[in-house]
Amino acid sequence: MSSSGAEPSIFSRIIDRQIPATIVAETDRLIAFEDIAPKAPVHVVITTKDPQYRNVVELAAGDPALLADLVELARQIASERTGGQFRLVFNTGEAAGQTVFHVHAHVMGSSAASDTLGEDSLGAL
């Protein structure tokens, strides 16, 4: 259990290696792993190791440097996997499709230069 008494999020359990994931990148404050239900040919989730921020708005207000680090990690992953062209999606709030209330971003793109992401790839993430 977390200090607040709530059950740890699925992301906290991945960070703690209680749930297996294909980890793509990791720093002292961030972890990136392949999405288990990808909506694009390349679909990686990046989250903070500290669960205190529920969404990107809280992260931007509380630790803008960590948000900048998250965006930089997204750029690095996209550089390696999508030729640097990517979509970075933060869902904020249940009505916007957020299902895990531990701040995270979806890095989405295509590994093939001829493929593009249509608007339909913005469905439930």
- Taking residues 113-121, report their average pLDDT: 56
What's the predicted TM-score (pTM) here? Answer: 0.86
Query: Domain 10-109, what fold?
Result: HIT family, subunit A (3.30.428)
Active site residue ranges: 104
Residue 13 has pLDDT above 70, yes or no: yes
Q: What's the average model confidence in pLDDT over 38-63?
A: 97
Q: Which residue is it, tokens 């990690």? A: 73
Question: Residue 3's pLDDT band (boundaries 50, 70, 90)?
Answer: very low
- Alpha helix (H) ranges present in the chain? 10-15, 56-62, 64-81
Instruction: Say which residues have a Cβ less than 8 Å from residue 104's Cβ, sequence separation at least 6.
Output: 11, 45, 46, 47, 48, 90
3-state secondary structure of 122: helix
